[in-house]
Protein backbone atom coordinates (compact mmCIF):
# COMPACT_ATOMS: atom_id res chain seq x y z
CA UNK A 1 0.00 0.00 0.00
CA UNK A 2 1.43 3.39 -0.97
CA UNK A 3 1.53 6.52 1.13
CA UNK A 4 -0.79 8.22 -1.37
CA UNK A 5 -3.38 5.48 -0.90
CA UNK A 6 -3.18 5.79 2.87
CA UNK A 7 -3.62 9.54 2.82
CA UNK A 8 -6.40 9.64 0.25
CA UNK A 9 -10.08 9.21 0.96
CA UNK A 10 -10.00 10.97 4.34
CA UNK A 11 -9.50 14.41 5.81
CA UNK A 12 -5.90 15.61 5.80
CA UNK A 13 -6.37 16.94 9.35
CA UNK A 14 -6.34 14.68 12.40
CA UNK A 15 -7.28 15.74 15.94
CA UNK A 16 -5.25 13.96 18.62
CA UNK A 17 -4.12 14.26 22.25
CA UNK A 18 -0.48 14.62 23.32
CA UNK A 19 1.02 13.12 26.49
CA UNK A 20 4.63 12.85 27.61
CA UNK A 21 6.85 10.75 29.84
CA UNK A 22 7.77 13.67 32.10
CA UNK A 23 4.44 14.78 33.58
CA UNK A 24 0.72 14.01 33.77
CA UNK A 25 -0.04 17.07 31.63
CA UNK A 26 -2.13 16.32 28.55
CA UNK A 27 -2.52 18.61 25.55
CA UNK A 28 -6.01 17.81 24.29
CA UNK A 29 -7.39 17.92 20.75
CA UNK A 30 -4.37 19.21 18.86
CA UNK A 31 -4.86 19.37 15.09
CA UNK A 32 -2.16 18.27 12.65
CA UNK A 33 -1.90 17.62 8.94
CA UNK A 34 -1.46 13.96 8.03
CA UNK A 35 0.99 15.05 5.34
CA UNK A 36 3.52 16.19 7.98
CA UNK A 37 6.65 14.08 8.06
CA UNK A 38 7.33 12.55 11.46
CA UNK A 39 10.49 14.68 11.68
CA UNK A 40 8.36 17.82 11.13
CA UNK A 41 5.74 16.56 13.58
CA UNK A 42 8.42 16.15 16.26
CA UNK A 43 9.48 19.78 15.81
CA UNK A 44 5.88 20.88 16.44
CA UNK A 45 5.86 18.80 19.64
CA UNK A 46 8.93 20.54 21.06
CA UNK A 47 7.16 23.69 22.39
CA UNK A 48 4.29 21.55 23.73
CA UNK A 49 6.33 18.99 25.67
CA UNK A 50 9.72 20.67 26.15
CA UNK A 51 11.40 17.64 24.58
CA UNK A 52 13.94 17.61 21.76
CA UNK A 53 13.01 16.44 18.27
CA UNK A 54 16.46 14.91 17.98
CA UNK A 55 15.94 12.49 20.87
CA UNK A 56 12.19 12.04 21.40
CA UNK A 57 10.43 8.77 20.58
CA UNK A 58 6.74 8.64 19.70
CA UNK A 59 4.10 6.02 20.47
CA UNK A 60 0.52 6.00 19.16
CA UNK A 61 -2.29 4.84 21.47
CA UNK A 62 -5.98 4.13 21.06
CA UNK A 63 -7.19 4.50 24.63
CA UNK A 64 -4.78 2.40 26.68
CA UNK A 65 -3.70 0.15 23.80
CA UNK A 66 -0.45 0.73 21.95
CA UNK A 67 -1.20 0.88 18.23
CA UNK A 68 2.31 1.42 16.87
CA UNK A 69 5.48 3.44 17.16
CA UNK A 70 6.01 6.43 14.88
CA UNK A 71 9.59 5.45 14.21
CA UNK A 72 10.29 6.55 10.63
CA UNK A 73 11.12 10.25 10.47
CA UNK A 74 10.65 10.35 6.69
CA UNK A 75 7.13 8.88 6.70
CA UNK A 76 4.12 11.22 6.77
CA UNK A 77 1.89 11.15 9.84
CA UNK A 78 -0.91 9.72 7.70
CA UNK A 79 1.19 6.65 6.86
CA UNK A 80 0.38 5.34 10.31
CA UNK A 81 -3.09 4.21 11.47
CA UNK A 82 -3.85 7.53 13.13
CA UNK A 83 -7.41 8.67 13.76
CA UNK A 84 -9.21 11.46 15.59
CA UNK A 85 -9.17 11.00 19.36
CA UNK A 86 -5.99 8.92 19.49
CA UNK A 87 -3.06 9.85 21.70
CA UNK A 88 0.60 10.36 20.80
CA UNK A 89 2.90 9.70 23.77
CA UNK A 90 6.27 11.50 23.70
CA UNK A 91 9.16 9.69 25.39
CA UNK A 92 12.27 11.76 26.04
CA UNK A 93 14.82 12.55 28.73
CA UNK A 94 13.82 16.25 28.53
CA UNK A 95 17.41 17.23 29.27
CA UNK A 96 17.75 19.78 26.50
CA UNK A 97 17.01 23.29 27.72
CA UNK A 98 15.63 25.58 25.03
CA UNK A 99 15.64 29.37 25.08
CA UNK A 100 12.31 31.16 25.57
CA UNK A 101 10.11 28.07 25.10
CA UNK A 102 6.85 27.99 27.00
CA UNK A 103 6.00 24.41 27.81
CA UNK A 104 2.38 23.27 27.68
CA UNK A 105 0.70 23.44 31.07
CA UNK A 106 -2.78 22.26 32.04
CA UNK A 107 -4.11 23.36 35.43
CA UNK A 108 -5.37 20.70 37.84
CA UNK A 109 -8.87 22.18 37.66
CA UNK A 110 -8.88 22.08 33.86
CA UNK A 111 -7.51 18.57 33.86
CA UNK A 112 -10.17 17.32 36.28
CA UNK A 113 -12.90 18.85 34.11
CA UNK A 114 -11.85 16.78 31.13
CA UNK A 115 -14.34 13.99 30.58
CA UNK A 116 -11.79 11.75 28.89
CA UNK A 117 -8.82 12.25 31.19
CA UNK A 118 -5.91 9.93 30.35
CA UNK A 119 -4.40 9.95 33.82
CA UNK A 120 -5.92 6.59 34.69
CA UNK A 121 -4.64 5.13 31.42
CA UNK A 122 -1.14 6.29 32.28
CA UNK A 123 -1.33 4.91 35.82
CA UNK A 124 -2.97 1.59 34.97
CA UNK A 125 -0.58 0.88 32.11
CA UNK A 126 2.54 2.16 33.85
CA UNK A 127 3.23 4.89 31.32
CA UNK A 128 5.12 8.13 31.81
CA UNK A 129 5.85 8.90 35.46
CA UNK A 130 4.09 5.70 36.50
CA UNK A 131 6.67 3.54 34.73
CA UNK A 132 9.23 2.99 37.49
CA UNK A 133 11.84 1.47 35.20
CA UNK A 134 11.58 4.33 32.72
CA UNK A 135 11.71 6.91 35.51
CA UNK A 136 14.77 5.20 36.98
CA UNK A 137 16.59 5.36 33.64
CA UNK A 138 15.61 9.00 33.15
CA UNK A 139 16.88 9.84 36.64
CA UNK A 140 20.18 8.11 35.89
CA UNK A 141 20.49 10.09 32.65
CA UNK A 142 19.67 13.30 34.52
CA UNK A 143 22.36 12.65 37.14
CA UNK A 144 24.88 11.72 34.45
CA UNK A 145 24.16 14.91 32.52
CA UNK A 146 24.36 16.95 35.72
CA UNK A 147 27.81 15.51 36.49
CA UNK A 148 29.01 16.17 32.93
CA UNK A 149 27.76 19.75 33.18
CA UNK A 150 29.63 20.34 36.44
CA UNK A 151 32.85 18.95 34.97
CA UNK A 152 32.54 21.16 31.90
CA UNK A 153 31.93 24.21 34.10
CA UNK A 154 35.01 23.46 36.20
CA UNK A 155 37.19 22.99 33.13
CA UNK A 156 36.01 26.13 31.35
CA UNK A 157 37.62 29.50 31.99
CA UNK A 158 35.86 32.81 31.60
CA UNK A 159 36.85 34.30 28.28
CA UNK A 160 36.91 30.92 26.54
CA UNK A 161 35.63 30.79 22.99
CA UNK A 162 32.59 28.66 22.32
CA UNK A 163 30.00 27.49 19.83
CA UNK A 164 26.34 27.38 20.89
CA UNK A 165 23.72 25.11 19.36
CA UNK A 166 20.12 25.47 20.57
CA UNK A 167 16.79 24.67 18.98
CA UNK A 168 15.23 27.49 17.00
CA UNK A 169 18.50 29.39 16.61
CA UNK A 170 21.38 29.24 14.12
CA UNK A 171 24.74 27.96 15.36
CA UNK A 172 26.36 30.91 17.09
CA UNK A 173 29.95 31.76 18.08
CA UNK A 174 30.81 33.72 21.17
CA UNK A 175 32.74 34.11 24.41
CA UNK A 176 31.95 32.64 27.82
CA UNK A 177 31.32 35.55 30.19
CA UNK A 178 29.65 33.74 33.10
CA UNK A 179 29.23 30.22 34.42
CA UNK A 180 27.10 28.90 37.24
CA UNK A 181 23.60 29.22 38.65
CA UNK A 182 20.93 31.82 37.91
CA UNK A 183 18.63 33.18 40.60
CA UNK A 184 15.26 31.47 40.46
CA UNK A 185 16.25 28.91 37.80
CA UNK A 186 17.32 25.29 38.34
CA UNK A 187 20.52 23.92 36.87
CA UNK A 188 23.80 25.38 35.66
CA UNK A 189 24.31 27.81 32.78
CA UNK A 190 26.90 29.51 30.66
CA UNK A 191 26.45 33.23 30.07
CA UNK A 192 27.62 33.86 26.50
CA UNK A 193 28.37 37.08 24.64
CA UNK A 194 27.84 36.35 20.95
CA UNK A 195 29.92 37.80 18.12
CA UNK A 196 26.72 39.01 16.46
CA UNK A 197 23.41 40.34 17.88
CA UNK A 198 21.83 36.89 17.92
CA UNK A 199 21.16 36.69 21.66
CA UNK A 200 18.14 37.53 23.79
CA UNK A 201 19.53 39.85 26.48
CA UNK A 202 22.38 42.15 27.56
CA UNK A 203 23.87 39.90 30.22
CA UNK A 204 20.97 40.27 32.66
CA UNK A 205 18.37 37.74 33.79
CA UNK A 206 15.26 38.65 35.80
CA UNK A 207 16.71 42.09 36.49
CA UNK A 208 20.09 40.84 37.79
CA UNK A 209 23.26 41.52 35.85
CA UNK A 210 25.72 38.64 35.43
CA UNK A 211 27.99 40.10 32.75
CA UNK A 212 28.28 43.09 30.42
CA UNK A 213 27.41 43.09 26.73
CA UNK A 214 25.30 45.15 24.29
CA UNK A 215 21.56 44.40 23.98
CA UNK A 216 20.76 41.20 22.04
CA UNK A 217 24.35 39.99 22.21
CA UNK A 218 23.91 37.88 25.34
CA UNK A 219 22.18 34.64 26.35
CA UNK A 220 22.20 32.19 29.23
CA UNK A 221 22.50 28.75 27.73
CA UNK A 222 22.30 25.19 29.07
CA UNK A 223 25.79 23.77 29.58
CA UNK A 224 24.97 20.86 27.27
CA UNK A 225 24.36 23.24 24.36
CA UNK A 226 27.82 24.85 24.58
CA UNK A 227 30.94 23.48 22.91
CA UNK A 228 34.22 24.96 24.11
CA UNK A 229 37.03 25.20 21.55
CA UNK A 230 39.17 27.29 19.25
CA UNK A 231 36.45 29.24 17.46
CA UNK A 232 37.95 32.52 16.21
CA UNK A 233 35.51 35.35 15.46
CA UNK A 234 34.24 35.32 11.91
CA UNK A 235 35.25 38.21 9.65
CA UNK A 236 32.44 39.89 7.76
CA UNK A 237 33.75 41.82 4.75
CA UNK A 238 31.00 44.20 3.71
CA UNK A 239 32.80 44.81 0.41
CA UNK A 240 31.87 41.27 -0.59
CA UNK A 241 28.14 42.04 -0.27
CA UNK A 242 26.11 43.45 -3.13
Q: Report CA torsion sign: 11, 106, 168, 127.
A: negative
pLDDT digits (tens, 9 = 90+) for 99-114: 444 445 555 555 555 4
pLDDT digits (tens, 9 = 90+) for 220-237: 999 999 999 999 987 655
Beta-bridge partner residues of 87: 17, 61
User: Would you place residue 210 in the very low, low, confident or very high pLDDT band (cuts 50, 70, 90)?
Assistant: very high
Architecture category of domain 3-130 in CATH: Roll (3.10)
Q: Is the pTM of this model over 0.75?
A: no
Domain 152-228, CATH class in plain words:
mainly beta
DSSP 174-210: EEEEEEEEETTEEEEEEEEEESSS-SSBSSEETTEE-
The domains of the chain are located at 3-130, 152-228
Amino acid sequence: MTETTILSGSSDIVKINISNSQTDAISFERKYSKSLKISEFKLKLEPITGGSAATMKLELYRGDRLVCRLDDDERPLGYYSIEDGMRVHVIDSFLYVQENVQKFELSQEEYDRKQESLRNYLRQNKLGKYNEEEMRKLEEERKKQEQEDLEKLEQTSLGARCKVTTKGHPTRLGTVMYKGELDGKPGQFFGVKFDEPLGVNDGTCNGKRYFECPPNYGSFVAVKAVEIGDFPPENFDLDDEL
